[in-house]
Amino acid sequence: MCENCERIYVVVHPDSAKRIHLTRLSNADRAYRLTCDCKAQRLFDKSGPQAYRVSEYSCLRGYADRGEYDALPKRTAEVAGREQS
Ligand SMILES: [Zn+2]
């Protein structure tokens, strides 16, 4: 997501792949750099992208502008297995 214009990009969209580049920071692990249409750049960690729910149209378009997406709650670790006593 671009913090400047609040547009989010669908990472799996081919157009978004052109905007997102793997970069290596000297003092950190790998990070990804997103270049937005508004020329703003944003660095994010691989685990950083927040999950959003977007419409099918936004998926096809490759991005969603503000108001066109909903942030999904962070997935909580699912506890598998039932207690047996
Ligand atoms: Zn932007």
Contact 40, 33 (CB under 8 A): no
Contact 8, 1 (CB under 8 A): yes
pLDDT confidence of residue 44: 79
Interatomic CA distance for residues 1 and 8, integer angstroms: 4
* Gap from CA of 16 to ligand 1 centroid (Å): 13
* Gap from CA of 18 to ligand 1 centroid (Å): 15
Residue 30 pLDDT > 80: no
Residues of the chain with pLDDT > 90: what percent?
34
Interatomic CA distance for residues 69 and 16, integer angstroms: 16
Which pairing describes strands 69-71 and 20-24: parallel, antiparallel, or unpaired? unpaired
Summarize pLDDT for 45-62 with one digit per residue, the tens.
766 667 889 999 999 999
Interatomic CA distance for residues 2 and 44, integer angstroms: 10
Q: Of 37, 45, 32, nearest to 4 (Cα)? A: 37
* Gap from CA of 75 to ligand 1 centroid (Å): 26
* Gap from CA of 43 to ligand 1 centroid (Å): 13
* Gap from CA of 73 to ligand 1 centroid (Å): 23
* Gap from CA of 27 to ligand 1 centroid (Å): 26
